[in-house]
Structure 1
Amino acid sequence: METQRCLLRANPPFSLDLSMRATQPAAPATYENGVLTRALRLSNGRLIPVRLRQTTSTESPTIEVELLAKVDEEERHEIARMLDRFLCLSDDLRPAHKIMQKDPALNPILEKLRAVRPWTSLNAYESMICGVLFQQISLNAAFSIIRSLVQSLGDCVAVGGRTYYDFPRPEVLAEAGVERLKACRLSRNKAVYVRGIAQAIVGGFDPEELGKMPVDEALEVLMGFKGIGRWTAELILATGLKRWEVVPADDLGIRRAISQFYLGGKTASASDVRKVAENWGQYKWPIAYYLLVASERMQRL
């Protein structure tokens, strides 16, 4: 097995372990014993399995990337860009932390969460598919269905006795029948929605272009897809395109967190979430994510 290594720097503070424990990564990524793994599909079509671990402190963070295949310099740079986006390594969240410091509801949770990066998809395509699969079920159930989809229809490569998966290509999902997708534990409706998204992408729709549009316009485009409402569209923009000025205000977990931290337990509506989040400027999603973790998953950290 031929391997190469490279190092990625992250803006401090950053903890890979805390970020992965705050919310597990969705398949095809896995995180075990401090090591993050998945296969990456490069623009030239090559499938490269990678293993990542943090080798330095949260205040001087360095990520060691083990490439389990030989790559050239251009491919290595592409892999670095993909991982930087996926893990938000070069994003500076210190302005968000300053907002939290000034907020009596947020300041007490900041110290525990400041090295956590918000949950992010590898790319906009994966976020669109996962956004549909997250609908109206628990996070654990959604992760289980995504894992089934990946292991059934995703390309893979075996290295050292271990199999590394990539997310199913749009062409594969577009050609899969509804019954085939149902066998991956999707409901009939979600199977139809997933095929529709994949078919649009195969037909020329580029979801990355949404990142260049005004938010309202991007939401309108996304909600034009069958099966994508406002909550899903906002989740896609926040997690798949890093449009952090967006908050999925209808999210039940975020509404519960707003209720807990701001409303003394009174039920929070989507408009309550939007009203509170107006104070967070361009960092609505990261701060909402911190609240979500503090409300539901602080015991993991």
Structure 2
Amino acid sequence: MELKRFKLILMVVMAFIWLYLLMQMFSDDLNKRPLLPRTRHQSDILQTRNITNQTLFPRTRNQSDIRISNKNTKFRMTQSNDNCSHYNMSKQNIKQLKGRWSSPIVVSKYKLIFFWSEKSACTYWKRLLQLIQGINKTALHNARSGLTTLKMFNDCNITAMMQSNQWVKAAFVREPRERILSSYLDKGQYKHVMNELCRINRQVSFYEFLEIIKRCKEGHWGQQVRAPKHFYKQMMIGKFSEISSFTERLLKRIGAWNETVVYWITSSKHIYQPHSTNAKSKLLTYYNNTKSQDLIFDLFSDDYNVFGFEKTYFK
């Protein structure tokens, strides 16, 4: 009985040993074989398997190509940042260029950056800049106008564009006394407008208006120097009194002067000026003393100095 039990135990032990040896042989055979299907050259499979195991990128011709591509991407990003760092402009200057009230209009097709101001023929200029770009919009003074403005660009691009000689910069301005009178006739003499803009719920005289705009800041009577002053040395400056000749000079400079523009200017289509006040014909009526003119000279000293307007009293 004991002998039979011993033989049974021995057979079980031998079976386990045989099974273990069989598994070891099978495991060694698997390690010697590739996990991928066989191809013409076994070395190609091993190289492909190594590349697949070492990276999560899709299979390419050579693993080094992937590394080079990654380096090139980093280089391009660094290069872009380096290009931006070459330009030197303060955040305050960039903020001024974007415009608190009226951001300059950018015409990329003709590489033009146009600085405009309210009450300085802005309706005329916006319609003209729509025309030369083929923009058919009735809106002018909001985002639906189709016009691109400088504040739509990032700080790096703004700096690069303003410092590039390839971009033409132009500004159109108006004699401050005439412009401020136009602002008063269009806005300041109306009670509801002054209440909305300056919280003055009454009708004001012209001289009261001049005192109010010292503290009530708004685009229609803000100064027309809307860029760092040194930029104006390289700008084309147009004045309200020479609007026709400046239009031709500017558009010829950027290559936009053509028969369509000439027809538009000579026709009545562009004369859409709902806010026209004929302020020039009323100057002596409102500026009948030196006190009000001295106030304008003081408030808008930058406009007079930068744009070369004369500080001579009306007679």
TM-score bracket for the superposition, by shorter chain length: under 0.3
Structure with bigger gyration radius: 2
Bigger proportion of residues as helix: 2
Structure 2 length as normaliser, TM-score? 0.25
